[in-house]
Homo-oligomer: A and B are copies of this chain.
Amino acid sequence: MAITIMDVARHAGVSPSTVSYAISGKRPISPSTRARIDKAIVALGFTANAGARALATSQTMVIGLLTQFHQDEFAPAMLQYVLPVSDTARELGYDILLVTETDATGALRRVTGTGMVDGVVLLDVVHEDPRLDTLRAAPQPGALVGLPKRTEGLDVFDLDFGESARILVDHLHALGHREIIVVSPPRHVFDRGGAYGWRFRDAALERGARYGLQIHPYYGEAQQPAIGLSINAILDARPTATALIVHNDATIAALPSVLATRGTRVPDDLSVVSLYSKDFGRAFSLPYTAVESSPDQLGQQAVRQLVRRIAEPELAGAPVTRFIAPDLTVRGSTR
């Protein structure tokens, strides 16, 4: 049906292999032959069949993107990761197969087993992620966004949550705050093994202890109206606290309206700092001083490393675990 390399060859009066070489540039072609081939390609509107090429080369030029949408997750945060991965992949010549199935392990087995992809990026990796065994057994390489318990043999990329917490505590400490509330992700994130929760919280506690600060850690909520109720309860319970560190997407997104309703002014009544990306902050109009969570850098680095491993396995070297250095953006929400 569609037009093939045979059609182009006939039209140009050469053999199919010559057309193939002309396209790939893998061997010299005389100018006149090349011209005829180019003309034929344009005239017939030829594009090489991806399946045939994949079969012949064992390369699909497709990367699988494995997302996880927990039912209780704050959805708007996900797209920030998907887009940079997709854009970086395309820059490097790869397309993205988006895999959103609930049965993530089965899905991973499927896309690697069928050879649909040359490699995979796993998003939202948790402490004991069931996908990792499957990934290790797969013939294709993979890159993780999110730090699991065991990183052996895997390329891992994550924000440095510990350092992020220390930067925020340092910032508040330098301003003279002595009693600080920390709102973590919801409890179920900890239960599920989202290590970023305790990595951030524990670092904040430790740093606070070193300075002799009072740090009050709380689990946050993921949805309204629970968010508003919990913030109000926490602030009521800690009337002498002067600063709030929010490490919770849903809570920080709702915070402006929660505080406005409560009549709490930032930074006059309360200093607020957080951790979110530029895009997220813009979407939700967040005015808070925050560590940039850099989903674009994470996605980009993961894809680049993955492609390196796909393209030149021998040169890619030992597995890496890379933490993005946090970057504080001051927005005047602290006093």
Instruction: Write out, one digit per residue, whether chain A residues 46-77 have a CB within 8 A of any chain B CB (1) or not (0).
Output: 01111110110010101001000100001110
Q: Does A260 contact B (CB under 8 A)?
A: yes
Which residues of the partner chain B approach A45 to less than 8 Å between Cβ atoms? 113
For the complex, give the distance between the alpha carbons of A87 and B283 in Å. Answer: 26
Query: Do A115 and B51 touch across chains, with their CB atoms under 8 A apart?
Result: yes
> Closest CB of chain B to A245's CB: distance in Å?
21
Oligomer copy total: 2
Q: Does A227 contact B (CB under 8 A)?
A: yes
Query: Do A51 and B55 touch across chains, with their CB atoms under 8 A apart?
Result: yes
For the complex, give the distance between the alpha carbons of A79 and B254 in Å. Answer: 19
Instruction: Write out, one digit per residue, whether chain A residues 76-91 have a CB within 8 A of any chain B CB (1) or not (0).
Output: 1011101100110010
Query: Do A285 and B95 touch across chains, with their CB atoms under 8 A apart?
Result: no
For residue A102, which residue of chain B has the nearest CB?
A: B87
For residue A139, which residue of chain B has the nearest CB?
A: B2
Given A51-B51, A139-B2, A225-B285: A279 in contact with B114 (beta carbons within 8 A) = no
For the complex, give the distance between the alpha carbons of A109 and B101 in Å. Answer: 28
Known: A75-B80, A76-B283, A79-B79. 4 other contacts (CB 8 A): A49-B115, A69-B83, A95-B97, A95-B111
Query: Do B110 and A75 touch across chains, with their CB atoms under 8 A apart?
Result: no
Query: Do A86 and B100 touch across chains, with their CB atoms under 8 A apart?
Result: yes
For residue A45, which residue of chain B has the nearest CB?
A: B113
For residue A279, which residue of chain B has the nearest CB?
A: B75
Q: Pick the contact of A79 from B78, B97, B114 — CB < 8 Å?
A: B78
Instruction: Write out, one digit per residue, whether chain A residues 107-139 have a CB within 8 A of any chain B CB (1) or not (0).
Output: 001110111100000000000000000000001
Q: Pick the contact of A261 from B50, B139, B224, B260 — CB < 8 Å?
A: B260
> Closest CB of chain B to A105's CB: distance in Å?
14
Which residues of the partner chain B approach A86 to less than 8 Å between Cβ atoms? 98, 100
Q: Which of A224-260 contact B (CB under 8 A)?
A: 224-225, 227-228, 250, 253-254, 256-257, 260
For the complex, give the distance between the alpha carbons of A79 and B228 in Å. Answer: 25
For residue A48, which residue of chain B has the nearest CB?
A: B114
Give me the 10 closest cross-chain CB pairs, A-B, nearest first: A224-B285, A47-B113, A51-B54, A76-B76, A50-B114, A98-B98, A260-B260, A257-B257, A51-B55, A86-B100
Query: Do B1 and A58 touch across chains, with their CB atoms under 8 A apart?
Result: yes
> Closest CB of chain B to A8's CB: distance in Å?
13
Which residues of the partner chain B approach A49 to less than 8 Å between Cβ atoms? 55, 114-115
